[in-house]
């Protein structure tokens, strides 16, 4: 005997989760793409700056951000699939804020050359991320832990931003 769903029944809850993950991945990579448009000459700009000795090579940023944007998307997905939006709203608002600050940083730093404003922006990004992580932890420990590498990289990037601002200001 086979068990079938009525024709008008909604798809099983599990089947509805994947489109949400794809949407969140699309949002995160759209942020990356928009940042790329705002900084089409970022590699040469970065190489032309006075940088501290501990600055990474320009080729490293692309692979690192590709992985980090995926973890950022998956973390939100883990939270959103846990419960009603009303229960996770604060975390998703903080997550959205950090993504907006992330989006603003690249044009500030590369397109406008506003290293001080970019540093302020990345500090606000860190504050939003510091708010997001404990809020996500309420719903999913894994979601919060997925943001740890991102937080560490952004902290490193903030330090680098500050050093470049001081060296080139």
The confidence score (pLDDT) of residue 1 equals 54
- pLDDT < 50 regions, the chain: 5, 9-12
Closest to 37 measured CA to CA, from 106, 90, 95: 106
The confidence score (pLDDT) of residue 3 equals 53
The confidence score (pLDDT) of residue 95 equals 98
The confidence score (pLDDT) of residue 85 equals 87
Q: Determine the Cα–Cα distance for residues 169 and 32; give it in Å rounded to an integer.
A: 26
**Residue 135: helix, strand or coil by DSSP?**
helix
The confidence score (pLDDT) of residue 7 equals 57
Q: Which residues contact 124 (CB under 8 A, 6 or more apart)?
A: 101
Segment 46-88, tens digit of pLDDT: 999 999 999 999 999 999 999 999 999 999 999 999 878 899 9
The confidence score (pLDDT) of residue 16 equals 61
pTM of the model: 0.87
Please report, rounded to a whole number, the percentage of residues in the chain having pLDDT higher than 70: 91
Closest to 23 measured CA to CA, from 91, 98, 81, 84: 81
Do residues 131 and 166 touch, judged by C-beta distance below 8 A? no
């Amino acid at each position: 005997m086979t068990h079938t769903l009525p024709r008008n029944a909604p798809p099983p809850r599990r089947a509805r989760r994947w489109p949400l993950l794809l949407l969140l991945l699309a949002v995160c990579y759209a942020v990356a793409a928009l940042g790329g448009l705002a900084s089409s000459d970022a590699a040469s700009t970065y190489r032309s700056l006075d940088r501290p000795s501990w600055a990474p090579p320009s080729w490293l940023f692309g692979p690192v951000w590709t992985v980090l944007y995926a973890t950022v998307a998956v973390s939100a997905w883990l939270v959103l699939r846990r419960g009603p939006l009303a229960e996770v709203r604060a975390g998703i608002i903080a997550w959205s804020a950090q993504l907006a600050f992330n989006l603003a940083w690249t044009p500030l730093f590369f397109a406008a050359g506003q290293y001080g404003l970019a540093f302020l922006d990345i500090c606000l990004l860190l504050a939003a991320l510091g708010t997001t992580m404990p809020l996500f932890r309420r719903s999913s420990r894994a979601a919060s832990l997925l943001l740890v590498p991102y937080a560490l990289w952004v902290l490193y990037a903030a330090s680098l931003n500050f050093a470049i601002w001081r060296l080139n200001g």
